[in-house]
Structure 1
Amino acid sequence: MEALQFLFSVESWRMAVFWTLSLIFSYLHLLFRGIFQKSQSYPRRSLHPSSEQPICIITGATSGLGAAAAKYLSREGYYVVLVGRSSHLLSKTIQEIKQQQEDVHLKALQVDLSSFQSMLSFKSSLEQWLLDTNLHPSVQLLINNAGILATSCRFTAEGYDQMVETNYIGAFALTNLLLPMLKNSSTPSRIVNVTSFTHRCVSQIEVDEETLSGKYLKCFSKSGRYPFARTYEYSKLCLLLFSYELHRQLFLMDPSHHISVIYCRYPQFRAADPGAVKTAIMREVPRHVSQLAFTVLKSLGILQSPENGVDSIIDAALAPREASGQYFFGGKGRTMKSSPLSYDAKLAEKLWASSCELLREAQLTMQESTKAS
């Protein structure tokens, strides 16, 4: 009965129809570009020679794409910091990777991206770990991979929608917290934001503080039910807008961005869209419905395993520095354009301002709580 109710809901049909069409459109667009235009792709580059071992931080690394990325990049010579909410699952993932290759360097740190306090604790733990292990206090690669698809309305301790905070606000906050360490790298550092083809389903959005926090998300649905599909699309589009805005601020607005030293001081930004991948992100969807969705996607030939779906993320992570600001999709180093709305500079500026204000309010709330205790 639960599966039937879910299957015939508006949000379920939105996922089935709009998401599938968006994914097919992305592949067709990639195909036509390859036939009629010179498709732009970037080769993967090996690590820059450096006396310091490169540090890579991957959020949502307990399974799926995060675990697959950790496995690949650890073999590339990165000291990979796996980040997730469950210490047990983090330890299990590290054990599985080391069973296949013992000499890799891995570290597990807990963080809940729906909690500002947890992110601050994570930063302190990371800095202390780097100090204790005599590693350089810098980060060379940050992959914002963590994401959830919540089918029910839940709010965090800060009062924000949990899905929006985990998928976007958490990535925004963590990136800003780690920015000094990324700038401290002696080699060009990178930030890869893992987004989704579902962002193409959004035709217009509001990015003021109240909408961003999720307080009025229920208003998006005429039925009054939680619009989880639209909320997920919203969070992924916000992540893209943030990626492009940060790229504009650090590169395009700096008249000396062509000087090589600038690439060391300021991290490069890329967006990666892995497409449809069979991961645990559908765990809140009724099992029979998720199995049906995977079966349909597999019959269409567009469902990937995490080991294959991670290609676009690795492409973005290891692409040369001129790939900053690109949207990677389809593997083989290929890039394409995201939705026209994602390139709206005024919308991105407004989103940036709203996000900064939410971050400031959260910091003030934590300070007041600390004083009160």
Structure 2
Amino acid sequence: MDREALRMVRSPEFWRMAVLWTLFLLYSYLLLFLRGRTAVPRRRRPGPCAGGEGEGEGRRPICVVTGATSGLGKAAAAALAREGYHVVLAGRSTQLLSETVQEIRRQQPDAHLEAFHVDLASYKSIKKFGTLLKQWIQETNSVPDIQLLVNNAGMLAKSHRITEDGFDEMIQTNYIGPFILTSILLPLLKNSPVPSRVVNLTSFTHRCVSGIDVSEDALRGMKLGQCSVGKSYPLASTYEYTKLCLLLFSYELHRQLHTSSVSVMAADPGVVETNIMRELPPCLSWFAFFVLRFLNLLQQTDSGVGAVLDAALAPPGASGKYFFGGKGRTIRPSGLSYDVEVAKKLWAESSMLFKELQLRGRDLGTN
């Protein structure tokens, strides 16, 4: 075990992940057990949308999956293509995007796929993606619309890094970026002639948060910078914070859109063997997966993606549900996630930061 690994093992954040995260994962499965076999059935394959190429037969509905080059995002993209969607894969690496598209097409020669670069830790990148996506849709379809947005991309950073927009990188990637992307793509979702959907990937780790600060400084991660001076970066508590923010955002968006044809779902895949812990010392991530596998709590992507597909394919009437464990099953998230006043304040602060980035972009001449 190297020095970095030893230093992390001695930190409170490591034991927070090792103990609290395991306990709340077990608690989530307990809730699943107590709920019984009640499940939300998946709807049938998405129907064709009017307009665009092949208007006589209709066109495939369009879905966008972020973080689509690995793990759950890659599995979700492949599964949704199989379900009949024209899948837009969005990711940070153009090379990995190309390789992922080729891999899915080898398995599904008739898959309809498009790939776009986007970095959720950059407002400029998100805005450019939104512009290029709309242009691509307008080139092929008479109506600019999409039917499904899966906010899957996320990270577990080991250090406090400031983005070009002035945010903590993990907070911007896991929450601020998805908030901005959803806001930009919401008009396309509302334009859909058939019911559309937003699916946000959250985590059982949100249950670890007992109180939440949604002020501008907290959302920027400025307080993390102050706390991390002379101390280790609070990677575990920051990750939990972003997942609770994403859940609060999901429920506030659900409340605002309850009279529209856009539904909002939260999906919690549990623990899946992905590269989410790639920044941690390899020996620690290996040991964590070993223990979780021994406890029969570790899933592979093909099974872990079940909760994502349940949320993506559930009937519109299931809007606001928290999908966990696959097989269409839902549980209740933490009580704090239902706090309407906190959610409204979070929405207001996030919207203000979004507007600030928009104004800064105009001042800099961002296209």
- Please, what TM-score do these two structures have when normalized by structure 2? 0.94
Give the C-alpha shift of residue 190 in structure 1.
0.2
Aligned residue number for residue 334 of structure 1: 329
Give the C-alpha shift of residue 223 in structure 1.
6.1
Give the C-alpha shift of residue 40 in structure 1.
4.3
Aligned residue number for residue 170 of structure 1: 177
Structure 1 position 217 matched with structure 2 position 212? no
Aligned residue number for residue 254 of structure 1: none
Q: Letter of the aligned partner of 2:47 in structure 1?
A: H
Q: Is the 8 A contact 1:52 1:136 kept in 2?
A: no
Q: Letter of the aligned partner of 2:354 in structure 1?
A: L
Aligned match of 2:208 in 189, 201, 216?
201
Aligned residue number for residue 43 of structure 1: 42
> Which region of structure 1 is more displaced relative to structure 2, 48-57 or 13-22?
48-57
Q: How does 1:103-252 map to 2 (within 5 A)?
A: 103-134=110-141, 136-219=143-226, 224-251=231-258
Give the C-alpha shift of residue 134 in structure 1.
3.7
How big is each residue's C-alpha offset from its partner over 1:241-282, in whole Å with a ceiling of 9 and x where there is no partner? 00000111111xxxxx3xxxx42xxx1000000000000110
Q: Distance in 2 between matches of 1:319 and 1:75?
A: 16
Q: Which consecutive residues of structure 1, in runs of 5 or more, have no partner in the other structure?
A: 252-256
Q: How does 1:1-373 map to 2 (within 5 A)?
A: 1-34=3-36, 39-50=38-49, 51-134=58-141, 136-219=143-226, 224-251=231-258, 257=259, 262-263=260-261, 267-370=262-365
SS class of match (1:281):
coil
SS class of match (1:80):
strand
Q: Distance in 1 between matches of 2:63 and 2:90?
A: 10
SS class of match (2:276):
helix
Give the C-alpha shift of residue 135 in structure 1.
6.1
- Please, what TM-score do these two structures have when normalized by structure 1? 0.93
SS class of match (1:268):
strand
Q: Letter of the aligned partner of 1:185 in structure 2?
A: S
SS class of match (1:370):
coil
> Which region of structure 1 is more displaced relative to structure 2, 47-56 or 15-24?
47-56
Q: Distance in 2 between matches of 1:363 and 1:21?
A: 41
> Which region of structure 1 is more displaced relative to structure 2, 237-246 or 217-226?
217-226
Q: Distance in 1 between matches of 2:228 and 2:21?
A: 18
Q: Distance in 1 between matches of 2:171 and 2:4?
A: 25
> Which region of structure 1 is more displaced relative to structure 2, 216-225 or 55-64?
216-225
> Which region of structure 1 is more displaced relative to structure 2, 59-68 or 2-11?
2-11
SS class of match (1:103):
coil
Q: Which consecutive residues of structure 2, in runs of 5 or more, have no partner in the other structure?
A: 50-57
Q: Distance in 2 between matches of 1:112 and 1:302?
A: 31
Q: Is the 8 A contact 2:48 2:61 kept in 1?
A: no
How big is each residue's C-alpha offset from its partner over 1:149-200, in whole Å with a ceiling of 9 and x where there is no partner? 0001101101100000000000000000001100000000000000001000
Q: Is the 8 A contact 2:152 2:200 kept in 1?
A: yes
SS class of match (1:337):
coil
Give the C-alpha shift of residue 218 in structure 1.
4.0
Give the C-alpha shift of residue 4 in structure 1.
1.5
SS class of match (1:365):
helix
Q: Is the 8 A contact 1:54 1:79 kept in 2?
A: yes
SS class of match (2:128):
helix
How big is each residue's C-alpha offset from its partner over 1:80-109, in whole Å with a ceiling of 9 and x where there is no partner? 000000000000111111111111000000
Q: Distance in 1 between matches of 2:225 and 2:177?
A: 21
Q: Letter of the aligned partner of 1:227 in structure 2?
A: P
Q: Distance in 2 between matches of 1:346 and 1:39?
A: 30
SS class of match (1:341):
helix
How big is each residue's C-alpha offset from its partner over 1:301-324, in whole Å with a ceiling of 9 and x where there is no partner? 010011110000000000001110
Q: Is the 8 A contact 2:40 2:314 kept in 1?
A: no
